[in-house]
């Protein structure tokens, strides 16, 4: 009984650290239910509620400034509302910047006339938005996205490919499963392995597992990969215009990116060299790139973000871009 009383007293003491807005009680419950949130203890729920309320205030402030023309994009509530930026970075970001490029260097066609806009989704080169969950496997989703696009270009068939195979099987090539990896390493693995299985035959689990690749379930093959010159936005646009979707890495470790909702994303604090997240560029407009993320459809604009184009390589969008050759 004394132990129960002690725990009860600790709970009361912690609850007194926070002051909550009671008018948000219903919204809090709705948000938890929608995103499947549950917490290990009452104390953790208090902690998460405090983060959640602070985040709502930040979102409202940013969007007021957006309405005043102070930002080019809006932000919104999503599954990350109860996470600190440090937790978000540790859980969701898994790209490690390579020291050297390992593929053939991309050479833009000499007679190329760049299209004013490109969207490979409309041409059937892009599968639906996927969700990496709490595994740092962004690099695997970026890899499959560009392989899916090049396989479509070569065969006319769009096949969803297995991220889980890359998580489980490509460690010998320098990747670390849910602990992070590189798209170029994954391309090298697929080429050496003789292919990558379909998503349906090797489904995603969101955790490190034992490799069980089956040559009878291969959905696509890769011969090698091509790297776009580091920092070259003209090269990235050229490849997007003529080749198809391109794997890119960005600096996503910002609350603004974490809660992006709509508009053209520009983050002055972004780095062009400290890259931590692998995504897929699927097109561009006059002042933005169309980028597919792997955080599900509740993030961003149905899982996509428009990232600034020709604004000093913002967030490193062109610092580590590549695609497979099939």
Average pLDDT, the chain: 93
Residue 224 domain-assigned (yes or no):
yes
What's the CA gap between 19 and 72, in Å, rounded? 33
Q: Name the more confident of 129 and 96.
A: 129
> Where in the sequence is the domain holding 135, given as residue range(s)?
86-325
Choosing from 71, 104, 126, the residue where a domain stops is 71
Residue 80 covered by a domain: no
> Residue 3: pLDDT above 80?
no
Q: Report the alpha-carbon distance of residue 149 to residue 243 in Å, rounded.
A: 9
Judge if 25 and 152 occupy the same domain. no
Closest CA to 191 of 159, 227, 158, 166: 166
Contact by Cβ (8 Å): 189, 175: yes
How far is the C-alpha of 199 from the C-alpha of 185, rounded, in Å?
Answer: 19
Model confidence at 6: pLDDT above 60: no
Q: Give the list of residues 6+ apart from residue 53 with CB closer than 8 angstroms, or none.
A: 20, 21, 24
End-of-domain residue from the set 22, 46, 71: 71
Of 235, 220, 244, 282, residue with least CA distance to 153: 244
228: which DSSP letter?
A: P
Is residue 14 pLDDT above 80, yes or no? no
pLDDT exceeding 90 applies to what percent of the chain?
87
Q: Could you tell me if 131 and 25 lie in one domain?
A: no
Instruction: For residue range 67-99, list pLDDT tens digits in order.
Output: 999 999 999 999 999 999 999 999 899 876 666
Select from 71, 95, 130 the last residue of a domain.
71
In a domain, 281, yes or no: yes
Count of CA atoms in the C-beta half-sphere (13 A) of 242? 15
Residue 4 confidence (pLDDT)? 37
What CATH number did the domain enclosing 125 receive?
3.90.70.10
Residues 49 and 96 in one domain: no
Q: Does 79 reside within a domain? A: no
56/97 same-domain check: no
Q: In the numeric block, which tokens belong to residue 178?
A: 């849910």
Rounded CA separation 229/284 (Å): 18
Task: Enumerate the active-site residues.
Answer: 138, 277, 293
**Domain count within the chain:** 2
Please give the average per-residue pLDDT across 3-19, as a whole number: 48
- Which tokens sit at 162? 């297995």
Region for 149 from its dihedrals, namely left if φ exceeds 0, alpha if ψ lies in -120 to 50, beta otherwise: alpha
Residue 186 resides in a domain: yes
Same domain for 111 and 24, yes or no, is: no
User: Is there a domain that residue 81 lies in?
Assistant: no
Q: Are residues 60 and 99 in the same domain?
A: no
Residue pair 257/267 in contact by the 8 Å Cβ criterion:
yes
Measured distance CA(100)–CA(105) in Å, rounded: 12
Q: Are residues 123 and 237 in the same domain?
A: yes
* Tokens read off for 261: 């909702």
Q: What value does the CA radius of gyration of the chain take, rounded to a whole number of Å?
A: 21
What confidence category does residue 9 fall into, taking pLDDT thresholds of 50, 70 and 90?
very low
What single DSSP character describes residue 51? H
- Rounded mean pLDDT of 156-172? 98
**Is pLDDT above 80 for 276?**
yes
**Are the beta carbons of 162 and 198 closer than 8 angstroms?**
yes
3-state DSSP assignment of residue 75: strand
Verify that 34 and 115 share a domain, yes or no.
no
pLDDT digits (tens, 9 = 90+) for 179-231: 999 999 999 999 999 999 999 999 999 999 999 999 999 999 999 999 999 99
């Amino acid at each position: 009984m004394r132990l129960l009383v002690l725990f009860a007293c600790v709970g009361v003491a912690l609850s007194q650290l926070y002051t909550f807005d009671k008018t948000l009680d219903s919204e809090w419950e709705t948000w938890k239910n929608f995103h499947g949130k549950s917490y290990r203890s009452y104390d953790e729920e208090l902690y998460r509620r405090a983060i959640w309320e602070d985040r709502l205030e930040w979102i409202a402030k940013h969007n007021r400034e957006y309405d005043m023309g102070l930002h080019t994009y809006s932000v919104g509530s999503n599954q990350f509302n109860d996470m600190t930026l440090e937790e978000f970075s540790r859980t969701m970001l898994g790209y490690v910047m390579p020291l050297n490029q390992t593929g053939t260097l991309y050479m833009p066609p000499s007679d190329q006339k760049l299209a004013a806009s490109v969207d490979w989704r409309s041409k059937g080169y892009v599968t639906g938005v996927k969700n990496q969950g709490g595994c740092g496997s962004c690099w695997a989703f970026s890899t499959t996205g560009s392989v899916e696009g090049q396989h479509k270009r070569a065969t006319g068939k769009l096949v969803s490919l297995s991220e889980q195979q890359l998580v489980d099987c490509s460690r010998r090539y320098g990747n670390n499963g849910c602990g992070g990896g590189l798209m170029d390493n994954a391309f090298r693995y697929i080429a050496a392995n003789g292919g990558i299985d379909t998503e349906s035959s090797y489904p995603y689990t969101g955790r490190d597992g034992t490799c069980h690749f089956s040559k009878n379930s291969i959905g696509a093959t890769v011969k090698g990969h091509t790297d776009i010159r580091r920092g070259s936005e003209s090269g990235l646009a050229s490849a997007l215009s003529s080749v198809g979707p391109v794997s890119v890495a960005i600096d996503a470790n910002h609350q603004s990116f974490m809660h992006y909702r709509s508009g053209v994303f520009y983050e002055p604090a972004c780095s062009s060299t400290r890259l931590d997240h692998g995504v897929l560029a699927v097109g561009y407009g006059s002042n933005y790139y169309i980028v597919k993320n792997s955080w599900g459809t509740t993030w961003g604009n149905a899982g996509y973000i428009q990232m600034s184009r020709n604004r000093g390589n913002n967030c490193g969008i062109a610092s580590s871009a590549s695609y497979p050759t099939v």
